[in-house]
Structure 1
């Protein structure tokens, strides 16, 4: 009888670590403050060195379901916790999280490094999220795997201390990684996802995914990061639950309004519900950056642009949105 009990327990143990948790998963890091993340809630440590630690406090994103529990922090090189889940193949796997870079001083490698993503095994990754410095700021990239030369870097730069809501997806049917940065509150919990901010199609396709990981790459590739509110699932709505108390009026306040559009007199107004400065990027249809400017008001001078169609990217308070701008 004892052998039977032992065999049953051992089988359950092996199945858990072979197959992981069933999706969807919501991880709010509700563990003892100051403890190592590895070994808690299904997390398994890889490598050695500095630990990823549970800390008090939460990160937040307007319109997203209110944060609960705690958060975790890490920096530099060290242990890489991984959260196994039931193996997925032939479908699309989504994950969302909020993160904040608190110190960029250690991120000195010009290629940057990746700090989170999906895994096919403990060492084979896909849908990796990258960071690199951009002057005193940083920007974000998505990679189908881990090759330095195959990142898709997004144009918006962010300041340290900014809470950033990220959604990533890996489409196992076609082999494509996608990323959304600060999706509009009106797109949260939608049946279909909005257009991604970036996609990555290069490199070897992963045939399946069975884990999410956090990575402390090295002393020069991983800045100081606070990480919170991890969700993993197989559809957009599951990983972007909206706050039921967030009003429709608030949603419209958070969206950028561009007018006149089409523009005909050499300027365009960009308004929102916030009075904070706006970081503006204007690209032509081939992706060439034509205007990079921070405005404190609402008016953007476009006198030097010829008639045509352009891509306007606006970022404010850690939130960004892309719009089509027509000039006649």
Structure 2
């Protein structure tokens, strides 16, 4: 469940998808630019192993960025409070093109040498490895082999439990379209069909009266539509979680299935 972190114009859900070889598009995409509201997606807190976020990406217009090499970060792997203090993905204009950078602070520590034209689609994967204390960016590798750039934070990141999109300022955030976001603990992200299978084994009844039935062992959190955690529990296959104390309405249930973060929307009636 996406939640706002500040005020300003919304990140817009747009019809249609970005196309990239090897990626099966589904649903809609989002667009944003300039200054505005930052959007935050919480997921199960991770303190070991690795966390990766992957997505298709395109800059559709750079004309609002008037200063060459003026940089900003637009995507973040962060903690569950959305503090933006973890792994940041930066972007900057370079002539009529743009490039990506990585950092854990107020500026990028390293910039990729790859330059891209507007209205072309890139497939990006940003991740953090807790064992090695490394932030890595993979550019245009559906099956990742070698990161384009790697950054070592000055202080190790202790936990990652969310992903955020950021609208910084009119003069630094270009017109962006982003699609097919996936969060994983594996560097190779599952396809849409595999994620659907995980969801079907996670929550077995999405229409709920008083109890949710689960098909997998997991530590779960239940979020209301304001992004607040209203219940946390450890569940097992074929065991039920009682939600009778919650009001009727829509909720998001998050957890881990075989090491992969999953979420499922439910309706309590």
Q: TM-score, normalised by structure 2?
A: 0.67
Give the whole-Å Cα distance in 1 for the aligned partners of 2:34 and 2:137.
Answer: 24
User: Please, what is the CA RMSD of the aligned residues?
Assistant: 1.9
Residues 135, 153 of structure 2: 8 Å contact kept: no
The CA deviation at 1:82 is: 0.4
Give the whole-Å Cα distance in 1 for the aligned partners of 2:97 and 2:193.
Answer: 30
Partner of residue 63 from structure 2, selected from 99, 105, 125 = 105
Q: What is residue 115 of structure 1 aligned with on the other side?
A: 74
Give the whole-Å Cα distance in 2 for the aligned partners of 1:194 and 1:162.
Answer: 22
Going from structure 1 to structure 2, the CA distance change for 1:77 and 1:133 (only over 3 Å counts) comes to same
Partner of residue 162 from structure 1, selected from 111, 120, 125 = 120
The answer to whether the aligner puts 1:200 opposite 2:151 as a matched pair is: yes
Q: What is residue 208 of structure 2 aligned with on the other side?
A: none
Going from structure 1 to structure 2, the CA distance change for 1:115 and 1:101 (only over 3 Å counts) comes to same
Mapping 1:21-40, distance limit 5 Å: none
Going from structure 1 to structure 2, the CA distance change for 1:198 and 1:48 (only over 3 Å counts) comes to same
Q: What is residue 255 of structure 1 aligned with on the other side?
A: none
Q: What is residue 95 of structure 1 aligned with on the other side?
A: 53
Residues 63, 242 of structure 1: 8 Å contact kept: no
After superposition, give the CA deviation of every residue in 1:141-178 in whole Å (9 maximum; x if it has no partner): 111x1321x42101111000011100111112232100
Give the whole-Å Cα distance in 1 for the aligned partners of 2:70 and 2:132.
Answer: 27
The CA deviation at 1:204 is: 3.0
Q: Structure 1 or 2: larger strand share?
A: 2
Q: What is residue 58 of structure 1 aligned with on the other side?
A: 17
After superposition, give the CA deviation of every residue in 1:21-65 in whole Å (9 maximum; x if it has no partner): xxxxxxxxxxxxxxxxxxxxx00101111110111110021122x
Q: What is residue 124 of structure 1 aligned with on the other side?
A: 84
Give the whole-Å Cα distance in 2 for the aligned partners of 1:202 and 1:208.
Answer: 13
Give the whole-Å Cα distance in 1 for the aligned partners of 2:130 and 2:28.
Answer: 32
**Aligned with 2:145: secondary structure?**
coil
**Aligned with 1:237: secondary structure?**
coil
Q: What is residue 137 of structure 2 aligned with on the other side?
A: 179
